[in-house]
Amino acid sequence: HGDDISDRPGWEGYGDYKDKSAGFKLRLLPENAFGTTWLPEVSAGIDDFHGTQLFRAEFVAATKRLDMGWATVDATVGYGRKRIAGLFGGARFRLKQLPSWALVAEYDRTDYRNDRRFAYTGQPSRRTGAWGAALEYNWQGLHFQVGRMHGQTVFNVALSVPLDGKRELIPNIDETGPFAGGLWANARPRPTAQQWHDSNEYRLGLLQALHAEGLRNVRFAWRDGTLAMSFSGDRYRWASRGVGRAATLAMAYAPIETKRLEITWEVNGVAGMVWEFYDVSVLQRYLAGTASRAQLAHSLNLRYASPTGRSEAARANDVDATIQALARERGRGFYYGQSLLGFSASTYGQTSFTLNPYFHAHLNDPNGAFRYDTGLSLDANINLARGWWLTGGIRGSVHETVTKSSQASNSRLPHVRSDVTEYRRAARVKLDRLLLNRYWQAAPRTYFRASAGLYEEMFGGVGVQGLYLSPGGRFAWDFSLDAVRQRNYKGTGFKNYKTVTAIGSMHYKVHGFEGLTATVRVGKFLARDVGVRFELARQFRSGVELGVWYTRTDGKDITSPGRPGSPYHDKGVFLRIPISTLTSRDTAAHADARISPWARDVGQMVESPDDLYLLMRRSWLNNALESDGLRSFADVPGEDQP
């Protein structure tokens, strides 16, 4: 939400009068709670709760749906204060024969006299308390309205996105089966255990099939009735979908004597979670459509992976050098992919190169409320050896307005972030990252990462991080230590500023609130300030993740927008959108956005080379701990939830 009153004095000399606002609503009581049929939904909310608060309003509301058989009415009544002055209400009437159309009426209690500088708009005074009505048409998530309000004809267009839907916003209709012709079953006879060991044919066929499904760093072995497989990949948003494809292929190539199937999902060369099907006859019947999801779940044991493997099969590897060479010879050097906007090329060893657009926005500049930088980013992630990765990125700006800013940072703290304009002005093409990462697993649920190189545009250095997950996965603790030095504006060398950051974090998956994770970080930040950072993130069923952060440190940022007696504290919101929810084919690619009201130096953290908790949580932890851990396992309708 934004407002601009041209040619009027702004705040702190920031040109025309501008403002941005945000609001939220919290459902306190669902409709028909406690088994009743008459209780309404009750909610409370705040509009424009932060910043200048020019349009702040607070309200409580009750909503109830009335079903008359041939039509429905959604009625709301509420009470507000500040900009909403008193009782308000509204109703939406919809015929069941015309579900896309509705008549909407409302009683508006907006008190325009509370709007600061309302007189400057030149608009006539509006009385508090007015009726309005509109005709509404809905198509998918788009809403169109035309009506009358305050004696004027009004038009409205809105977009609603169901973040908590059970499936993708756009169904993955282009997902096909892993067998020839896109089939989900294979009539080819399976080998015996003797044939499996005597001939490369079946092992090579399984390896090639797994590669074709986008699974990388594949290892597997068959011992005494157990087939153990491990792999990783970014082909699938949900690890359980990749596990399902692997299980389907395993039941086509594994020896007929197989009684147990162990599938380990790995990330960057370290094992995460094991899907252990201890009765493969149930798995076979489920894939054939003769066993239920509940029966499959009862034959499944989900457990954290051991770094050495628990079974003899898990400790072995039947993918020897000969089979690897044949797979390379018969396969392709690179597998090419395309996401919504980007392109990628990857090898069966998971080395990848990607080309993606980027968009960076900067708010609250005195020379313009909105500045931006857009261009292309070329990234490489090279698998050097198991657990060893070389990663880098080059960014090229195509068009930007950030360098039009003429006001230098007024921060009295070390300028660890507030010189963003100088970094953009120095070079249009820049080496953004170049570093070596080492990942390893010390024990079940215990992971480490060591990094050295250019972390990001502004800092480079060396660092380590350790992560421990609780047995139930609800708690996690990590500690990161980074010795960093500030890069110069062009990115070709370093400035004199250097520091050591040390951050300890605790993460908690909030009980009773699906997908909600709370994080507390304590330690020493980039500007050598010491304090605490709070984060709250919600991952919806669609995969979209929305979160907020707020930081309190001993850094005294008292220059504007802070002031003596009321220093500025870093805060903001972040959004993560999985690309696969917007495309007809699955992918693990995603788009990230972070919005902070000011580019300041207090409470800042160096960009992690690869935060272990986020890596594990988004790769497999949330998925494995969600319900029965079988989301999209066999790509059948209704499978997202048991």
In this predicted structure, which of 261-265, 308-312, 595-599, 613-617 has the lowest mean pLDDT? 595-599
**CB-based contact 376:394 (threshold 8 Å):** no
Between 349 and 494, residue with greater pLDDT: 494
| Residue 445, pLDDT score | 96
Q: Cα 123 to chain center, whole Å?
A: 43
Per-residue pLDDT tens digits for 38-49 = 999 999 999 987
**CB-based contact 234:383 (threshold 8 Å):** no
Per-residue pLDDT tens digits for 297-312 = 999 999 999 998 889 9
Find the mean pLDDT for residues 571-593: 86
**CB-based contact 305:264 (threshold 8 Å):** yes
Question: Where does 59-120 have alpha helices with state H?
Answer: none
What band does 91 get if pLDDT is binned at 50, 70 and 90? very high
Whether residue 551 has pLDDT greater than 70: yes
HSE, side-chain direction, 13 A CA sphere, residue 448: 10
Per-residue pLDDT tens digits for 368-413 = 667 888 999 999 999 999 999 999 999 999 998 888 777 788 999 9
Find the mean pLDDT for residues 88-114: 92
Whether residue 263 has pLDDT greater than 80: yes
Find the mean pLDDT for residues 495-499: 97
Q: Cα 581 to chain center, whole Å?
A: 11
Whether residue 588 has pLDDT greater than 90: no
Three-state secondary-structure class, residue 32: coil
Residue (of 170, 162, 172, 165) closest to 138 by Cα position: 162
| Residue 638, pLDDT score | 58
| Order of strands, sheet of 130-139, starting from the edge strand that comes earlier in the sequence | 23-29, 41-47, 57-67, 71-82, 86-95, 101-108, 130-139, 142-149, 152-159
**CB-based contact 296:279 (threshold 8 Å):** no
Percent of the chain with pLDDT strictly greater than 70: 91
Angstrom distance (rounded) from CA 515 to CA 507: 13
Residue type, 402: V
Angstrom distance (rounded) from CA 302 to CA 66: 44
Between 559 and 18, residue with greater pLDDT: 559
What band does 29 get if pLDDT is binned at 50, 70 and 90? very high
| Residue 76, pLDDT score | 97
Between 409 and 94, residue with greater pLDDT: 94
What band does 2 get if pLDDT is binned at 50, 70 and 90? very low
Between 521 and 175, residue with greater pLDDT: 521
Angstrom distance (rounded) from CA 254 to CA 179: 15
Whether residue 516 has pLDDT greater than 50: yes
| Residue 408, pLDDT score | 83
Range ranked top by mean pLDDT from 28-32, 372-376, 493-497: 493-497
User: 279 is written with which tokens?
Assistant: 């009765």
Q: What contacts 516, CB < 8 A, 6 or more positions away?
A: 509, 510, 536, 537, 538
Angstrom distance (rounded) from CA 510 to CA 474: 8
User: 634-637 long-range contacts, Cβ below 8 Å, gap at least 24?
Assistant: 634/184, 634/244, 634/248, 634/286, 634/287, 635/172, 635/175, 635/184, 635/241, 635/244
Find the mean pLDDT for residues 532-553: 92
Q: Cα 545 to chain center, whole Å?
A: 4
Handedness of CA 92, 77, 22, 122 (dihedral sign): positive
| Residue 327, pLDDT score | 83
| Residue 513, pLDDT score | 82
Per-residue pLDDT tens digits for 322-355 = 888 888 777 766 777 776 678 888 888 899 999 9
User: 128-132 long-range contacts, Cβ below 8 Å, gap at least 24?
Assistant: 128/85, 128/86, 129/86, 131/105, 131/106, 131/107, 132/105, 132/106, 132/108
Whether residue 159 has pLDDT greater than 90: no
Q: What are phi and psi of 366, to 5 degrees?
A: -60, -25
Whether residue 6 has pLDDT greater than 60: no
Whether residue 33 has pLDDT greater than 50: yes
**CB-based contact 506:476 (threshold 8 Å):** yes
Three-state secondary-structure class, residue 31: coil
Indicate the helix (H) or strand (E) that contains 421.
helix 420-426
| Residue 641, pLDDT score | 52
Whether residue 610 has pLDDT greater than 50: yes
Q: What contacts 17, CB < 8 A, 6 or more positions away?
A: 3, 4, 5, 8, 9, 10, 11, 117, 120
Number of separate helices (H) and strands (E) present in the chain:
10, 31
Residue type, 332: R
| Residue 594, pLDDT score | 87
Question: Where does 228-311 have alpha helices with state H?
Answer: 239-253, 280-287, 293-298
| Residue 495, pLDDT score | 96
| Residue 642, pLDDT score | 44
Angstrom distance (rounded) from CA 263 to CA 220: 9
Whether residue 637 has pLDDT greater than 70: no
pTM (predicted TM-score) = 0.86
Q: What contacts 175, CB < 8 A, 6 or more positions away?
A: 585, 586, 635
Q: Cα 251 to chain center, whole Å?
A: 33
In this predicted structure, which of 232-236, 362-366, 516-520 has the lowest mean pLDDT? 362-366
Between 262 and 420, residue with greater pLDDT: 262
Indicate the helix (H) or strand (E) that contains 324.
helix 321-330
In this predicted structure, which of 161-175, 390-404, 627-641 has the lowest mean pLDDT? 161-175
What band does 17 get if pLDDT is binned at 50, 70 and 90? low
Three-state secondary-structure class, residue 424: helix
| Residue 428, pLDDT score | 92
What band does 32 get if pLDDT is binned at 50, 70 and 90? very high
Find the mean pLDDT for residues 64-81: 95
In order of 62, 81, 108, the CA distances from 88 in angstroms are 11, 11, 6
Whether residue 226 has pLDDT greater than 70: yes
Whether residue 16 has pLDDT greater than 60: no
Whether residue 166 has pLDDT greater than 90: no
| Residue 4, pLDDT score | 47
Q: What is the mean pLDDT of the chain?
A: 89
Whether residue 442 has pLDDT greater than 90: yes
